[in-house]
Amino acid sequence: MSATHVAEPMTETQLDQLSVDTIRTLSIDAVQQAKSGHPGTPMALAPLVYTIWNRVLRFDPADPIWPNRDRFVLSNGHASMLLWSTLHLTETQAVNADYERVGHPSVSLEDIRRFRQLGSKAPGHPEYHWVSGVETTTGPLGQGVATSVGMAIAQKWLADRYNRPGFPIFDYNIYAVCGDGCLMEGIASEAASLAGHLGLDNLCWVYDNNHITIEGPTSLAFTEDVATRFLAYGWNVLRVGDANDLDRIEQALSVFRMTKGRPTFIILDSHIGYGSPHRHDTAAAHGEPLGDKEVRLTKRAYGWPEEAQFLVPEGVREHFAAGVGARGAAARSKWTALLASYRTANPDLASEIDQMQRRELPAGWDGNLPVFPADAKGIAGRDASGKVLNVLAQSIPWFLGGSADLGPSNKTTLTYEGAGDFQAGTWGGKNLHFGIREHSMAAIVNGLALSKVRAFGATFFIFSDYARPAIRLSALMELPSLFVFTHDAMGDGEDGPTHQPIEQLVSLRAIPGLVTLRPGDANEVVEAYRYVMQLRHQPAVLVLSRQPLPTLDRGTYAPAAGVARGAYVLADPPGGNPEVILLASGSEVSLAVEAHEKLLAEGIRSRVVSMPSWEIFEQQTQEYRDSVLPPTVKARVAVEQASTLGWERYVGSSGHVIGMRTFGASAPLKALQEKFGFEPDRVAAAAKEQLGKR
Ligand SMILES: Cc1ncc(C[n+]2csc(CCOP(=O)(O)OP(=O)(O)O)c2C)c(N)n1
Ligand SMILES: [Mg+2]
């Protein structure tokens, strides 16, 4: 078959093969040109991705964010050239951050020529915020499949709330492709276990069973019976023995769509580097360019012109247009008409869908937020949070979430009438039960956020470490995921150093784009939620206390609305003009206030700055920041029950930081406060020392 000169009209079978080989050769050429990348897996999986996209997927390349589209997740993100080739050949259109189509293709042939180069829309791994048509960022193995479970949960929840008889507004499916690496990662096991428990029959994972990873054959480290493992999780397990058999692949995908009550796992036996005479089935095919000579030999094996590069033969784009293009356009226009009549019958629900898609909030969403009266005994951050969550979940219908088995401790359970549990058959429930699976919980929250649902996941702050890779991806993807972490410091005293966070705060503050907030009393908790709920393209972490914190009298001290500026002057000496500044977050804010009162009584002019969020403060104008931390006032003390690392930025090289330089210990909180110096007298003494008055 000649690829360049098409004399006679080609048969469908020939066009299928030509399309598959175009994906393969674009991938090979791009990796070769970049002298970097992963050619072998695209060569093997081109038939799979072709079949999913051109025969099955309900996706309209003209509108890649159409809400009822099927989702496609490439969890083995190193095979990104599969996605770039496919997005290019389907002529998928680009959209901007305001959800508008901008009138040019998402991935051009020039982008593919510039694979892995600066600015190219064909980067090394799929990046959600960067390339339209990418449903989630992948590359860290296992994240994609775990995120796909969140997408499947979202579809079930959306269908329950919005579908009406005759109006299947949300009836899409989620397809995820993964390799050996994804299935070795713990996060995939957590997610698969939960998906099986929930019976998510809208979810299909295809496993590229090629027996190869980077170091060599999987016999080195991965010899379990994967099929039996997924059967045990409660999945429907299918096998396709030949990755080049398009009809068998299509058949398996249709079995998936007919399977009710459980997710589907398709094991696809493939050969990495398929078609390459010397790289077929080798680990070298995974991550090395083939080399010029092998490229030619491989093209010859495909019946491809050996010298042609980045060739898209005549008929291929048209073939995709007639397949996924036509099917997607028809499905979208049918859906648009359906939504129009749905809107007449259910205007309120339709407007919810509109708002959700644009990441807006319903009018009056924060109208019922509580205001906490001054109270010296106070209330725990987690308890204030529980009250706020219950208000928000009622005023924002599409706000839901849950904990990794710590609901009663995190106080994240939604207890209002009708909140319900999300389980198989009760898909409208708003309490998610993640089980003790923090890592997949965070990825699932990302999957929900990608589906435009507002979602939170909760656990003890110390276990944020178990969720960190997915939190990092939420920031990289610019998603408004929300993570609620309680037991923020040594408040759980007796549990000891295994449960006492030290380096977690600074490590989360180091993630670009993530907003970390550690509110200092109940009203700061309210303001923290008010702030984070309005974020549309940033994730947030709330760090909340286990123990009661005094609710400050906002008649005496500044209003908690200052939280929205990251840091604010909570208390000043009479007439202002401070000589020393005390900075604190969370439980240490009331400690700083106590120290401040002592200092005032001794005639020392101290200021207290409540600083719940470094990231938000850094976004303020220089003028505002200087008004809170006047550069002339060099005497400064920061107090925080966490690693001291980073506080020099705010106290300067001559300032003092009262924080943690070791792990904590198992003891009642009072004893720990004494041992580690979190006492008003110690803070006051440090302030005096700063002033040379000691
Ligand atoms: C969490 C994580 N660990 C390690 C890597 C580095 N890495 C990228 S691909 C790969 C091997 C993957 O093997 P497999 O999934 O079987 O892919 P195949 O080579 O078969 O396509 C590794 C270790 C990664 N991307 N993510
Ligand atoms: Mg493999």
d(CA 121, CA 114): 8
When pLDDT is cut at 50, 70 and 90, the band that residue 650 belongs to is: very high
Nearest bound ligand to CA 178?
1
Distance 213 CA to ligand 2 centre (A): 5
Query: What's the mean per-residue pLDDT of the chain?
Result: 97
Q: Which atom of ligand 1 is nearest to the CA of 210?
A: 20
**pLDDT tens, 332-375?**
999 999 999 999 999 999 999 999 999 999 999 999 999 999 99
The predicted model gives 167-175 an average pLDDT of 98
Highest mean pLDDT out of 8-17, 595-604, 668-677:
595-604
d(CA 88, CA 109): 7
**Which two structure tokens, joined as six digits, stand for 261?**
């009550």
In Å, how far are 174, 368, 390, 391, 531 from 394, measured between CA atoms? 28, 10, 7, 5, 18
Q: Whose CA is nearest to atom 13 of ligand 1?
A: 213
| Beta sheet of 568-571, edge-to-edge order | 568-571, 606-610, 580-584, 636-643, 656-660
User: Does residue 4 surpass a pLDDT of 80?
Assistant: no
In Å, how far are 573, 632, 634, 644 from 687, measured between CA atoms? 14, 16, 11, 17
User: Does residue 291 surpass a pLDDT of 60?
Assistant: yes
Cβ atoms of 72 and 53 closer than 8 Å? yes
Distance 281 CA to ligand 2 centre (A): 10
When pLDDT is cut at 50, 70 and 90, the band that residue 492 belongs to is: confident
Q: Which atom of ligand 1 is nearest to the CA of 286?
A: 19
Q: Whose CA is nearest to atom 16 of ligand 1?
A: 180
Helix (DSSP H) and strand (DSSP E) numbers for the chain: 26, 22
Q: Which atom of ligand 1 is nearest to the CA of 40?
A: 21
Distance 355 CA to ligand 2 centre (A): 41
Please give the share of the chain, as a percent, with pLDDT higher than 70.
99
| β strands within 141-201, DSSP E | 174-178
In terms of DSSP H, where are the helices of 163-291?
180-184, 186-198, 226-233, 246-258, 284-287
d(CA 457, CA 45): 34
Nearest bound ligand to CA 125?
1
Find the residues whose C-beta lies inside 6 A of ligand 1.
41, 76, 78-79, 139-141, 179-182, 185, 208, 210, 212-214, 272, 286
When pLDDT is cut at 50, 70 and 90, the band that residue 693 belongs to is: confident
d(CA 12, CA 534): 50
User: Does residue 248 surpass a pLDDT of 80?
Assistant: yes
d(CA 110, CA 121): 9
DSSP state at residue 421: B
Angle at 528 (CA atoms; ends 587, 499), nearest 5 degrees? 45
**Quick check: helix, strand or coil at residue 346?**
coil
Active site positions, annotated:
438
Our mutation pick for probing the ligand 1 site, out of 213, 218, 439, 472, counting the most ligand atoms within 8 A of Cβ, is 213
Our mutation pick for probing the ligand 1 site, out of 78, 180, 472, counting the most ligand atoms within 8 A of Cβ, is 78
pLDDT value of residue 98: 86
**Which two structure tokens, joined as six digits, stand for 423?**
């389980």
Distance 650 CA to ligand 1 centre (A): 41
pLDDT value of residue 478: 98
The predicted model gives 602-631 an average pLDDT of 98
Q: Which residue, chain included where needed, has tokens 């469908």?
A: 12
Q: Which atom of ligand 1 is nearest to the CA of 76?
A: 15
In terms of DSSP H, where are the helices of 459-587?
468-477, 504-509, 522-533
Distance 308 CA to ligand 1 centre (A): 30
User: Does residue 237 surpass a pLDDT of 50?
Assistant: yes
**DSSP bridge pairs for 638:** 583, 657
**Which two structure tokens, joined as six digits, stand for 351?**
């407007």
Nearest bound ligand to CA 76?
1
DSSP codes joined into one string, 359-394: T---TTTTTT---PPPEEEEEEHHHHHHHHHHHHHH
The number of residues making up the chain comes to 694
* Side chain identity at residue 204, one-letter code: C
Nearest bound ligand to CA 209?
2
Distance 152 CA to ligand 1 centre (A): 24
The predicted model gives 4-25 an average pLDDT of 89
d(CA 250, CA 266): 11
Our mutation pick for probing the ligand 1 site, out of 75, 76, 141, counting the most ligand atoms within 8 A of Cβ, is 141
User: Does residue 275 surpass a pLDDT of 80?
Assistant: yes
In Å, how far are 5, 113, 142, 651 from 27, measured between CA atoms? 22, 10, 23, 52
Q: Which atom of ligand 1 is nearest to the CA of 179?
A: 15
Nearest bound ligand to CA 283?
1
**DSSP bridge pairs for 205:** 176, 265
pLDDT value of residue 2: 47
Cβ atoms of 75 and 143 closer than 8 Å? yes
**Which two structure tokens, joined as six digits, stand for 669?**
């909180």
pLDDT value of residue 321: 98
Cβ atoms of 70 and 172 closer than 8 Å? yes
Cβ atoms of 600 and 656 closer than 8 Å? no
d(CA 401, CA 441): 10
Distance 212 CA to ligand 1 centre (A): 10
Q: Which atom of ligand 1 is nearest to the CA of 78?
A: 9
Distance 272 CA to ligand 2 centre (A): 8
pLDDT value of residue 283: 94
d(CA 197, CA 145): 16
The predicted model gives 234-243 an average pLDDT of 98
pLDDT value of residue 1: 45
Q: Whose CA is nearest to atom 11 of ligand 1?
A: 213
The predicted model gives 211-222 an average pLDDT of 97
User: Does residue 505 surpass a pLDDT of 60?
Assistant: yes
d(CA 121, CA 101): 16
d(CA 498, CA 486): 15
Q: Whose CA is nearest to atom 18 of ligand 1?
A: 213
pLDDT value of residue 228: 98
**pLDDT tens, 391-408?**
999 999 999 999 999 999
Q: Which of 460, 613, 426, 645 is nearest to 538 (CA)?
A: 613
